[in-house]
Amino acid sequence: METSHTFAGNPLDRAERERRDEAWIEAALRDSSSLFLPFYKLDVPLTKSSHPVLGWLTSNQLWSSAPHADPLLLGNIDATAHFAVDLSNYPTVIDWIKNNLGWKFENCRTAGGLLTVSETGILAQGRSQIDWHTRHGFCSVCGSPTVKTRGGQARQCLDCKTDHFPRTDPV
């Protein structure tokens, strides 16, 4: 019997080559086949069923309801770009997701016990990236604001141009 750590089975290709191409990222953000995993205060949506799965939004659903959202590239599965997006500042979108799609937002640790290993790996990556970006808006070298680069894999200081990367400790 093969075992895997609950949050370690991520099937996404992290798109290392693609995330260096801003034009590719912009096109993927608008591609109708791209999928977006919404988070609300670091909670994640699950479908309401006996075997819940992650709730993914389409690009049309995301951009029509949250036109100023700032997704983070998670990677690709079979040439479909997957993003995580923090919708904590969009409570009306969260209400729409709950009421119209019938999903419920769940704490990630609880969700990890309900999902498949591959989905928990995606969940862990998305949650950790969103949390890191929330906490690292300023340069640790000079204190100036930082901006997201490489699809969210890094942040760069607007002043001293230092690149910042998240730690890779387990979630």
Q: Are the C-beta atoms of residues 123 and 44 closer than 8 Å to each other? A: yes
- Tens-digit pLDDT profile for residues 62-85: 999 999 999 999 999 999 999 999
- Tens-digit pLDDT profile for residues 121-167: 999 999 999 999 999 999 999 999 999 999 999 999 999 999 999 98
Confidence at residue 10, expressed as pLDDT on a 0 to 100 scale:
87
pTM listed for this prediction: 0.92
Q: Are strands 154-157 and 72-77 parallel, antiparallel or unpaired?
A: unpaired
Q: Which two tokens stand for residue 69?
A: 């959202």
Quote the CA–CA distance of 141 and 159 in Å, as a whole number. 10
Residue 7: closest CA among 77, 108, 88: 108
Query: Quick one: 87 exposed, middle or buried, by C-beta within 10 A (0-12, 13-18, 19+)?
Result: buried
Confidence at residue 9, expressed as pLDDT on a 0 to 100 scale:
78
- Tens-digit pLDDT profile for residues 19-64: 999 999 999 999 999 999 999 999 999 999 899 999 999 999 999 9
Residue 136: closest CA among 146, 122, 125, 144: 146
**pLDDT exceeds 50 at position 1:** no
pLDDT bucket at 98, cuts 50 / 70 / 90: very high
